[in-house]
Structure formats: C-alpha cells, structure tokens
C-alpha cells in the first residue's frame, strides 16, 4: 500500500512539473506576443515607418522598441522614421535617454527622423528637465503624425530629385 502511494505521488509530482513547464512556456510566448503588439511599427508610405508609442516606457521597453525599430529600418530599407508620442502622457530622464538612443540608432542606419505628437504635459516635462533638445541632434519635432508624414514625403521627394540630378550629370 505504501509502495502504491509512493508511485502515485511520484507520478503526480512528475505531472505537476510537466504542467508547470508547459505553463511557463505559454507565459513566455504570451510575453513575446505582448512585446510585439506593444511596439507596432507601421509602413505608412514607401520608405516611411511610424512607431506609435502608447503608455509608459521603462528602460526595458525602450531597449525592446529600439531593437525592433532598428531591425525594421534595416529590413525595410526605410529612409524616414516617425516616432509618434501622441499616446505618451509622462516622460522622465530615463525614457528621454532611451528615446535619444533610438533616434541616434535610426540616424546611424541612414534614416531621417521626425518626432511627432508631443503633448503639452510631455513638452513641459521635457522642457523642465531639458531632457530632449532637437537642436543640432539631426531630427525634427512636429505637432502631429499628419505633419510628420507630410514632412517625410517632402524629404523623400527632395532626396529623389537630388539623386536624379546627380544621375543626369
């Protein structure tokens, strides 16, 4: 009788471990899905990507967003990137530093960068702490996504016309 109990107990423990391992694997897959869904990178025009940022950004999320954005710039050969902060209500020093790294990384891959949708609260926080200064940093800030897309299209047209002039020489 004791032997049967020990065998049943061992089988139950083994089944619990299997269920626990399956659950851990499922949780990891769900984390990956959430990561992808929380960082949608959208092709909005030929050569133009948009990263709409919504919610709080910590160092880990900023690093994930940067990695995904840089991969997409490379894979899509994007020439313009719009980082849309319309959905961001708060920004601190850590977030601004992550944003600057993202911008610099995109620029190193040859992308023209526009930051759009900075709301009043975020603008005040950035100004109060001098956290994000686009002067001399090689990127532009515009009021909204519509203006940013219009600016990117103009930039692409200027680049195309310069390229056409060089090619005709």
Contacts of 149 (CB under 8 A, 6+ apart): 44, 45, 48, 50, 82
The pLDDT tens digits for 117-141 are 999 999 888 888 776 665 556 789 9
pTM: 0.78
CA distances, 15 to each of 20, 21, 69 (Å): 8, 10, 41
For the 42-167 domain, the top CATH level (class) is alpha beta
The pLDDT tens digits for 28-81 are 877 776 766 678 999 999 999 999 999 888 888 899 999 999 999 999 999 999
Do 56 and 90 form a contact (C-beta atoms < 8 A)? Answer: yes
The pLDDT tens digits for 91-104 are 888 888 889 899 99
The residue with greater pLDDT, 162 or 46, is 46
- Locate 58 and state its tokens: 């910590």
Do 82 and 114 form a contact (C-beta atoms < 8 A)? Answer: yes
Do 123 and 91 form a contact (C-beta atoms < 8 A)? Answer: no
């Amino acid at each position: 009788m004791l032997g049967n109990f020990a065998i049943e107990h061992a089988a139950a423990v083994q089944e619990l471990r299997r269920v626990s391992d399956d659950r851990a694997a499922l949780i990891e897959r769900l984390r990956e899905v959430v990561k992808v869904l929380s960082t949608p990178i959208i092709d909005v025009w030929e050569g133009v990507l948009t990263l709409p940022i919504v919610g709080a950004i910590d160092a880990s999320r900023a690093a994930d967003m940067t990695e995904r954005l840089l991969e997409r710039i490379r894979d899509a050969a994007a020439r313009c990137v719009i980082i849309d902060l319309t959905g961001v209500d708060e920004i601190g020093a850590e977030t601004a530093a992550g944003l600057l790294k993202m911008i610099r990384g995109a620029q190193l891959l040859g992308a023209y960068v526009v930051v759009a949708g900075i709301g009043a609260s975020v603008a005040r926080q950035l100004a109060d702490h001098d956290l994000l200064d686009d002067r001399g940093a090689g990127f532009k800030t515009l009021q909204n996504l519509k203006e940013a897309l219009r600016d990117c299209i103009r930039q692409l047209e200027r680049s195309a016309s310069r390229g056409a002039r060089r090619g005709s020489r």
